[in-house]
Structure 1
């Protein structure tokens, strides 16, 4: 990652995802992208009607459990998404957009084995959801 300072560029080496704070940063940046894209934002704002900050904390709990086996997430992710799908059909395009922003956000902020594992797990989860819907 490079940041311009005056006419100089400061290169900041990226690191792997390591903490709950890293996950919160990642989810916050990810949702910034999702919520400005008219092809998908309505799912969160109009269909699911998320309250953003509590939703981000739930996502952090979910990914902390998946990646580090230390989280406290116990909800049925599939059922939550099936409920949303009942209200408004989640299309293949929605999953493609979601994965694009997810992977892009990871790549912009982190590098390493856990970051790659997170992208792989997201693809697996999205694939299963798409098949079941």
Structure 2
């Protein structure tokens, strides 16, 4: 099993990850009812984000924190939802990749989930 090496690998990862999210009724409603993502438009944005984080390519210009705060204003993004998100993310990584970048992306996902939960909690005050 190979490590994450390029944007094609990241596309595979993100696509498989979203298949898992969207088939899990405990979290899919966030993407289908609250945000109503158009997956064909959303996936390239996520690939750009992860490519910047893991491969150092740049190109992601959105405010990740604000996006999640905006979603949280519509529907509370609970710690449980972040646990589900991380579980599906880590499972997708582990199913397709092994190596330094695979471990790095899982660590980054945990960091992002933790930061988002802190920001959401601070925003409630």
What residue is the counterpart of 1:15 in the other structure?
2
What residue is the counterpart of 2:30 in the other structure?
43
Distance 2:17 2:58 in 1: 20
SS of the aligned residue for 2:91 comes to helix
State the superposition RMSD in angstroms: 0.6
Q: What are the equivalent positions in structure 2 for 1:77-116 lying under 5 Å apart?
A: 77-116=64-103
What residue is the counterpart of 1:9 in the other structure?
none
1:127, CA displacement in angstroms?
Answer: 0.2
What residue is the counterpart of 2:123 in the other structure?
none
* TM-score, normalised relative to structure 2: 0.94
1:71, CA displacement in angstroms?
Answer: 3.0
Give the structure with the larger strand fraction: 1
Give the length in aligned residue pairs.
120
What residue is the counterpart of 1:118 in the other structure?
105
* TM-score, normalised relative to structure 1: 0.89
2:112 is the alignment partner of 1:128: no
What residue is the counterpart of 2:48 in the other structure?
61
Distance 1:18 1:25 in 2: 11
Structure 2 alignment gaps of length 5 or more: 121-125
Distance 1:47 1:71 in 2: 29
Structure 1 alignment gaps of length 5 or more: 1-13
The structure with higher relative contact order (CA 8 Å, sep 6+) is 2
Q: Which has the larger radius of gyration?
A: 1
Distance 1:63 1:37 in 2: 22
Give the structure with the larger helix fraction: 2
